[in-house]
Amino acid sequence: MAAKQPDKKNVELFALGTPRSMLLAEFGPPAVSEMRDGKKYEIYKFVQGYSAGAKAGRAVFHGAADVLTLGLWEVVGTPAEGVFSGDEMAYEVSYDKDNRIDEVIALKK
């Protein structure tokens, strides 16, 4: 389970001046996209995961613990990995006329 956790996203892209194309490349299409008063607003929702190194380290640890405990570690390790499935995050952004972020609001951190 540890190796299949979501990847870590670069939330530093939610900064003033970041082009919309970079957000789309990192986070995919927004959950909500709308025009208000002639200005584009979007909401990005995603699960903040873990780096490849952290996922690999956890997978190796769980594998070793399984071997050392003859499989008994599964009783503890499986529910623990369910808890560490990443954090839900959401950001609302608005863009200027050049499709660059001009405002960011963290909705869920």
The share of the chain scoring above pLDDT 90, in percent, equals 53
- Give every strand in the sheet of 32-36, ordered side by side: 32-36, 39-48, 87-95, 101-108
User: Which CATH number is correct for 2-108, 3.30.1450, 1.10.10, 2.60.420, 3.80.10?
Assistant: 3.30.1450
Predicted pLDDT at 67: 78
- The separation between CA 75 and the C-alpha centre of its own chain, rounded to angstroms, equals 27
Q: Residue 79 corresponds to which tokens in the numbers above?
A: 């529910």
pTM (global) more than 0.95? no
Greater confidence, 49 or 103? 103
Q: Residue 57 corresponds to which tokens in the numbers above?
A: 């380290």
Residue 75: band (very low, low, confident or very high) from pLDDT cuts 50, 70, 90: confident
User: What are the sequence ranges of the domains in the chain?
Assistant: 2-108
- Distance CA(64)–CA(29), nearest Å, equals 39
Residue 26: band (very low, low, confident or very high) from pLDDT cuts 50, 70, 90: very high
